[in-house]
């Protein structure tokens, strides 16, 4: 997230729940951090991606991460809780959606779900089903 206060509160909520957190100010920094972690054989388990950042927005950053074969869950974070935003984020490669202001319990529960409750195979299958529905809808 480009806003320091949002990064810090999110980090606080997640670290209080036992997570190890890295932060980035924009999409470029986020991509660089994810690639560096992967290349160091310590890949991120999950990414919370702000959709509205300077330099490179969340959808563009998510697309680049997916092209780089980063397969960890990505949760979209946006202040624009408008109709269609969730679908746009999911179609853009995110696995789930959370609107601001950040609800601590909802954030922690989503992170726990994607890091503890769903397997990579289940996540891959959900993405595959979503992608096939999207391609059918475009024909």
In this predicted model, what pLDDT tens digit does every residue of 81-101 receive, in sequence order? 667 788 889 999 999 999 888
pLDDT band (50, 70, 90) for residue 71: very high
pTM across the whole model? 0.91
Give the three-class secondary structure for 103: coil
Please report the pLDDT score of residue 93 as a whole number. 94
Cα angle for residues 45, 73, 24 (degrees, 5° grid): 70
Asked if 115 and 107 count as a contact pair (C-beta separation under 8 A), the reply is: no
Select the more confidently predicted residue: 23 or 83: 23
Query: 103, 82 in Cβ contact below 8 A?
Result: no
Comparison of pLDDT for 80 and 51, the residue scoring more: 51
What's the average model confidence in pLDDT over 101-117?
A: 95
When pLDDT is averaged across residues 108-117 and rounded to a whole number, the result is 96
Provide the 3-class DSSP secondary structure of residue 60: helix
Question: Where in the chain does DSSP place strands (E)?
Answer: 47-50, 74-78, 96-99
pLDDT for 7 equals: 86
Computed over every residue of the chain, the mean pLDDT equals: 90
* Predicted pLDDT of residue 6: 85
At residue 78, the pLDDT reads: 86
**For position 135, what pLDDT does the model report?**
64
| Farthest-apart Cα atoms in the chain, separation | 46
């Amino acid at each position: 997230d480009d806003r320091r206060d949002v990064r810090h509160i999110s980090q606080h909520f997640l670290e209080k729940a036992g997570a190890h957190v890295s932060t980035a100010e924009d999409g470029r920094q986020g991509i660089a951090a994810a690639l560096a972690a992967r290349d160091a054989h310590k890949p991120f388990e999950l990414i919370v991606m702000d959709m509205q950042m300077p330099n490179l927005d969340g959808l563009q950053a998510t697309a680049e991460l997916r092209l780089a074969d980063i397969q960890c869950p990505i949760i979209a974070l946006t202040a624009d809780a408008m109709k269609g935003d969730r679908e746009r984020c999911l179609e853009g490669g995110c696995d789930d959606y959370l609107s601001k202001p950040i609800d601590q319990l909802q954030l922690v529960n989503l992170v726990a779900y994607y890091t503890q409750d769903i397997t990579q195979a289940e996540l891959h299958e959900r993405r595959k089903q979503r992608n096939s529905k999207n391609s059918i809808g475009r024909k």
